[in-house]
Amino acid sequence: MLIGGITQAAAAASPPARADVFADPVQYVNPLIGTGNGGEAVGDINDFPGVDTPFGMMQLSPDTVGSGVGYSYGKSSIRGFSLNHASAGCSVFGDVPILPTVGPIGTDPGNASATFSHDHEKATLGSYDVLLTDSGVNVNLTATSRTGLLSFSYPAGSTAQVLVKSGASLGGNSAASVTVDGDDEVSGSATANGLCGLGSYTVYFDIKFSQPFTAHGTWQGKTVTAGSAGASGKGSGAYLTFDTSSSTTVRAKVGMSYVSVDGARKNMASEIHGWNPTPVQQQTRAAWRQALNTVQVGGGTSANLTTFYTALYHSLQFPSVFNDVDGHYIGFDDKVHHVPAGQTQYATFSDWDTYRALAPLQAMLFPKEAGDMANSLIRDAEQQGGWMPRWPLANVSTTGTMNGDSAVPLIANTVAFGGRKVDIARVLPIMLKGANHSEELGWGWQERQCVEEYVELGYAPNDACSQGAHGRQGVSETLEWSIDDFAISQLAAAIGDKHTAAQYQLRSQNWQNTFNPTTGYLQPRDERGAFPNGPAFVAPPANAFGQDGYDEGNAAGYGWEVPQNMAGLIAAMGGKDVAIPRLDTFFSEINAGPNAPYMWMGNEVDLSVPYVYDYLGQPWKTQAQVRRIEQSLYPPTPDGLPGNDDLGAMSSWYVWSALGMFPVTPGRADLALGSPLFTHAVVHLGNGRSIDINAPAAGDDTPYVKGVRLNGRTFDSTGLPESVVTRGGRLDFSLSRTPDTRWATGSHDAPPSYQTGQDPAIGFTDPSGPVTVTAGDTKQVTVGAQGTGLHSTTVKWTAHASGGITVSPSSGTLHVAADGRASTDATVSVPASVASGFYPVSFSFTASGGQKLPGGVLVTTVQAADHTAIVADDLGNPDVPNGLSVKEEGDGHTTATTAGGLPGRTTTGAGSFYMYFNIDNSFVPGGKYDATAYISYFDQGTGSWGIQYDSYGNVPNNAYRDSARVTNTDTGTWKTAAIPLPEAAFSGRENGGSDLRLNIGAGSQVIGRVAFAVTGDNVLAMHLASAQPVAPAVTTQPADATANGGPVSFTAAATGDPQPAVRWQASPPGGDWADVGGATSTTLTLTSPQDYADGTRFRAVFTNLAGEAATDPATLRD
C-alpha cells in the first residue's frame, strides 16, 4: 500500500520523532514558500501552495490568472483549482481547473476567475483554505495520492455553481472532453501539451459530488449550451448548479488517472471513502510527518527550521506516482502496461536539474522508492526503442529540455546513495547505445544529438548540432556528456564490467578537449577544433539567456563544471594560485543570472561551486559562502528560493547544505563538508542506520569549522568517506564565528578527484582561434603546453598547414612540469598569392611515449583587399547560411517554397509579416558601417517591400530604420535588388537580437537569397559568397555514350552562386528537348538505355537565381 508515493513498509520503518531533536516537523512546513519570484533572471519560482502527498500523482492546488506554471504569490485572481502541477520553468500541467462561482454562468465561463487575498488564505500540509472574495465562497482542498476532496461553502441564498474547465490546461490543449453522468458525476479527459509545449499527454478525471446538481450545461469556447451533457475540444467545459438552501457546502471528490476514466474512478474509490475532509487531512499530514522525520533537526531558529523542513518537503514531491491503484500505467509507447509486483511506476523527472542533489537525497532516505524511480526510467527507455529519456513528463517520452544525457547520472547517483534493486545490467546496454549513436525520436529529439561527432572528436562542436533552446551549447554538451560517461563508468564497475568502466572513465576526461590553456577556461570549439579568439567571457547581448556555447550560462559559470575531476581542472587552470582569486571574484555576486560572470545560485550548474573551496585548501570559504547563500537567498517567505525550484533541485541544495555536507561527484557517494546550521541532526538512512550530526555552537553567525570528529576520531578532511552513506556514523563539529585557516587545508584533505585517463598536459596556441593575416604578411604565435598536475612530461608539437601557408619552425619539443607551462614562438607566413579565406593550421601534441594530447587549431584568416565583408544566406529547404542566417521570431516565421522552379522562403502569414536575419558577429560585430543589401526575389504582383535595419543614424525608431522600397513589376522572373543601407549598425536590437528584417507582408513575396556587402573599421573582410548571384558556368561537359547491354551514365558540372540546380533533358532524333523525370543530380544513369532510340541526345541544364546554362548535348548510341 502507498501512503502518498511512499510504501507503507518504508513509512512504518521511519523512526518516531525524538523529543530531544524536534517533535513535529509538519508545523514548520509553509507551502507558500517558493510561490513568489526568484529574481529578475528567472522570474517565478513555481512551487505550489496546494495539497499533495509524498511523491503523489495529484498536486491539487490553485492556479492564479496569468501564471504559466500555476500559482504566483503576486497575483490576486484564481482561475481554478487544478489537479497537477510541477515547479518547472515552462508552462505545464494545471489540468482540469475546477472553480466555484455564484450567479449566472455568463458567456465565457472558460475564462472565469475569482479574486482572493492572502489575508484569507492558509496553506498547511494536508489542507489549503482560501476565501474567494468576490463570490464569498470558502474553499478547502485536501488530497491523497491520486484523489482530491474539494469543499465549497457558498454564501446563504446564492446561486451555487461549479465550473469544470476540461480544456483549460496551463500549457494548452489539443483535445479535451467532458461528460455529465447522471445528476452527481462528471468525467472526461484533457490532452495537454508537454513541458515548453513539446509532446503531449492525456489525463483522465472523474468527479463525484456530495449532493445532486439541479441543473447543468456545457460550453465550447464562448458557446454555452444549457442542459447539454457533453462537450469536447480545447476550451471545453461543464457547469453544474446546486441547491444550497439546506446545506451551503458542496463537496467534490476528484480522481485522476493517466490511463482512463475507469482508472480515475478506481483510484477515487480506493483512496477516499465518504465526504469528511478531516480524516483525509489527517492521513495526508501523517504521511508527511513520516516522510519528514527521516531527517530530524533541532537547535535552530524558527526561521531556519521553517526553511529547512519546507525545503525537505519540496524535495519529496517529485517524481510522482504514475500508475493507478490497480498497477496500470500508460507507457512511452502509448500502450497500457502493468507495473511489476511490488514496484511503483514514477513519472516526471527534471533529470538535468535533479541528478546533482535531489536524486542522492531521495536515494539515501528512501532507497526503495528511489530504486523504483530508476527502474521506471529503464522501463521508459525500453518502451521507446531503447533510448534513455530526457526530462520526461507523464508519458511524454521526452521534452528534450536542457542538454546532457542526465537520466544516466541520475540513475548512477541513485545506485551510489543506496537505491535498491536498480537493474544495472538491464540498463547499461541502453546507455551505451545512446552514448555512441543518435537517432531522431518522437517530435525530433535525440538522446545525445550528433553524438557521433563527440565520439570522433572528443568534444561536441559548437555548431548547429549543439543548438538548444537558448542557442549553441557545445561546451555544456561536452561537459555534461563527460559527467554522463563517468556515471556509465561507475555503473559498469558496479556490475564487474571492467572494460566498459575503463573505456568510459577515459571518456570522462573529455572535458580536457574544451579546456583552453590560453585563457584558462572551458570554451567552445568549432568543427575544425578552433576556440574563439579573445577573452573567455564575452558579455552576451542583453536579450540573450547565456553566452554562445553555454546553456543558460557563460564561461565563468561553467568554469567549474568538472565534478568528476576537480583536481585536474584546477591544475590545468594553473593551480590554486590562479583558481582561488578567480573563485573569489566569481563570488562577488551570488545570484547574478546567465549573462554575468559571477555565481548564479538559481541555476543547477553552480550548485556545487561553493564547495570548490574544499578542493582548493580553503574550506573556510566554502563555509562562509554556503552560509551567505542560506541566509541571503533562502528566507522563509514566498520569494525564498534563488530560482525555479525545478522539482526540488534548489530545495535539496538547502537540505544538504544545512546538514553541513553536499554530494559532489555524480555516480559516487562523495560528500564534501560545509558546516551544519543546526546544533543536532539525525539523518535516518533507508537501510536502518543513521548519520548523527552534532554541532553545539551551530547558528547563523558560526559557520566556521575548527575541527571535526568522525565516529569519535579526529577527522581532518573535507570529503567524507562513502561508508558514511551506507553505514552511517557520528559527526561532531566544533564551530566558530571566525575562520580557522588550518583545518583540512592539506594537499590530501580535499574530496576525491578521479584522474584515471587524464592527460599529463594540454597543448595550446596563443592566439587560440582565428588570427587575421594579410596576404604577403606573417604572424607570430605562441605554441605551448600546460601541465595538469599529474607528472612532468616532454611534449612534442607539430604544425600542419594548408593552402600554401607555412609555419616556422614546423615542430618542436617542450618540457612541461606537472603544474607548469612551457611554450615557444613560431611564425605563420602567408604568401601574397593566397586568396581571401579560412586556412586552418592544426597543431598536434604528443607526450613522451606517443600519447596524443589535447591541442588546438589556429584558423588563419586571410582578408580581402577591398576591406569588405560579404555574407549571404541562400534560402530554401534547407537554407545555406554563410555568415548570415534567417531567424524565426514571433511576427516573423518563414516556410520553404518554390517559385519559378527555384527554392526560396516566404512568411507563413497569420501574423507573420517579416523575415528576420542575424549577421554573424565574427564578421560584422555591432558598429558603424556602410552596407548594401542584395536581395534576390521572385517578381510577382505589383506590391512593394523593403528592409528595416538596425541603424545608428539620428532617425526615428533607428533600430527599425526603413530602407528604400522595391516595387514589383509582375514579370514572373527572379530579380536581384541592390538596396543601400546608410548608417547601418547591425547591433542586434531587433526582435530576438536580430540585425534586420525584410518587411514583405504575409505569405506572398518569395525571397531566394539575401546578401550584404559591409564596409567599416570592425569588419572581418571575408567574401563568404558573391554579393550578387553568379550565373551558372558549365565546367564539365557530358560525353557520348554507347549502350552495350548495360546501364550508361552521363556526367556534367557547373559553377555558380548560389550553387546551381540541375535537371537533365533528352531529345529524340528530330525531336524537342524534354525533362527526364527525377533526373536532378550531376550524373544521369540510364539503367535501361534500350528505352531510348539510337541517337537520342542528352544535356544538363543548370539554373540558379542569376540565370541558366545548358551543356553541349551528348549522344546515346546502341
First to last CA, the chain: 83
**Are the C-beta atoms of residues 1037 and 965 closer than 8 Å to each other?**
no
pLDDT for residue 443 = 65
Quickly list H helices, 233-365: 261-271, 277-292, 302-314, 351-354, 358-365
pLDDT for residue 464 = 81
**Are the C-beta atoms of residues 642 and 38 closer than 8 Å to each other?**
yes
Does residue 25 have a cis peptide bond before it, meaning omega lies within 30 degrees of 0?
A: no
Q: Which of 839, 843, 840 is CA-nearest to residue 762?
A: 843
In angstroms, rounded to a whole number, what is the distance separating the alpha carbons of residues 759 and 762? 7
- SS3 of 909, please? strand
- SS3 of 579, please? helix
Those residues with Cβ within 8 angstroms of residue 496's Cβ, 6 or more apart along the chain or in another chain: none
Name the residue type at position 666.
P
For residue 16, how many other CB atoms are within 10 A of its CB? 8
Q: What DSSP character marks residue 30?
A: -
Which domains are delineated in the chain?
31-289 (2.70.98.10), 298-736 (3.30.2080.10), 761-862 (2.60.40.10), 868-1028 (2.60.120.260), 1031-1117 (2.60.40.10)
Name the residue type at position 914.
Y
Does residue 854 have a cis peptide bond before it, meaning omega lies within 30 degrees of 0?
A: no
Length of the chain, please? 1118
Q: List b or e across 953-971, with b for residues whose CB sees 16 or more CB atoms inside 10 angstroms.
A: eeeeeebbbebeebebeee
**Distance from the Cα of residue 108 to its chain's centroid:** 36
Q: List b or e across 387-411, with b for residues whose CB sees 16 or more CB atoms inside 10 angstroms.
A: bbbbbbbbbbbbbbbbbbbbbbbbb
Q: Which of 1039, 1051, 1042, 1050 is CA-nearest to residue 1090?
A: 1042
**Are the C-beta atoms of residues 847 and 761 closer than 8 Å to each other?**
yes
**Are the C-beta atoms of residues 159 and 103 closer than 8 Å to each other?**
yes
pLDDT for residue 671 = 99
CB-neighbour burial class of residue 835 (10 A; exposed 0-12, middle 13-18, buried 19+)? exposed
Q: Which of 493, 487, 483, 424 is CA-nearest to residue 667?
A: 487
Q: Left, alpha or beta for 549 (phi > 0: left; psi -120 to 50: alpha)?
A: left
pLDDT for residue 43 = 80
Mean pLDDT of successive 10-residue stretches along the chain, which has 1118 residues: 50 43 85 90 88 99 94 97 94 96 96 98 98 98 99 96 98 96 98 87 98 98 97 97 96 99 98 98 98 96 97 98 98 96 96 97 98 98 94 79 92 98 98 94 81 96 84 94 98 98 98 97 94 92 89 96 98 98 98 96 97 99 99 97 95 99 98 98 96 97 98 98 97 98 96 98 93 90 97 97 94 97 96 89 93 90 88 91 90 91 89 91 90 97 94 89 96 96 93 91 89 92 92 97 91 95 96 95 95 96 96 95
Strand partners, 100: 162
Cα-based distances in Å from 850 to 193, 280, 673, 846, 847? 54, 70, 40, 6, 6
